[in-house]
Chain A
Amino acid sequence: GQQLNQSPQSMFIQEGEDVSMNCTSSSIFNTWLWYKQDPGEGPVLLIALYKAGELTSNGRLTAQFGITRKDSFLNISASIPSDVGIYFCAGFNAGNNRKLIWGLGTSLAVNP
Chain B
Amino acid sequence: DVKVTQSSRYLVKRTGEKVFLECVQDMDHENMFWYRQDPGLGLRLIYFSYDVKMKEKGDIPEGYSVSREKKERFSLILESASTNQTSMYLCASRDPGFSYEQYFGPGTRLTVT
Binding site for B on A (CB under 8 A): 1, 3, 31, 33, 40-45, 48, 88, 92, 97-100, 102-105
The 6 closest A-B pairs by CB, nearest first: A42-B104, A1-B59, A104-B42, A102-B43, A45-B101, A43-B104
Q: With A3-B42, A42-B107, A88-B42 in contact, is A100–B58 under 8 Å at CB?
A: no
Q: With A41-B107, A42-B92 in contact, is A48–B58 under 8 Å at CB?
A: no
Which residues in B have their C-beta under 8 angstroms from that of A31?
A: 100
Q: Does B76 contact A (CB under 8 A)?
A: no
Q: Does B45 contact A (CB under 8 A)?
A: yes
B50 to chain A, nearest CB (A): 7
Interface string of B35-67 (1 = CB under 8 A from A): 000001111110010100000001100000000
A-B CB contact pairs (8 Å), 10 listed: A1-B44, A3-B42, A40-B106, A42-B92, A42-B104, A45-B101, A88-B42, A98-B50, A100-B102, A105-B42
B106 touches A42 (CB 8 A): yes
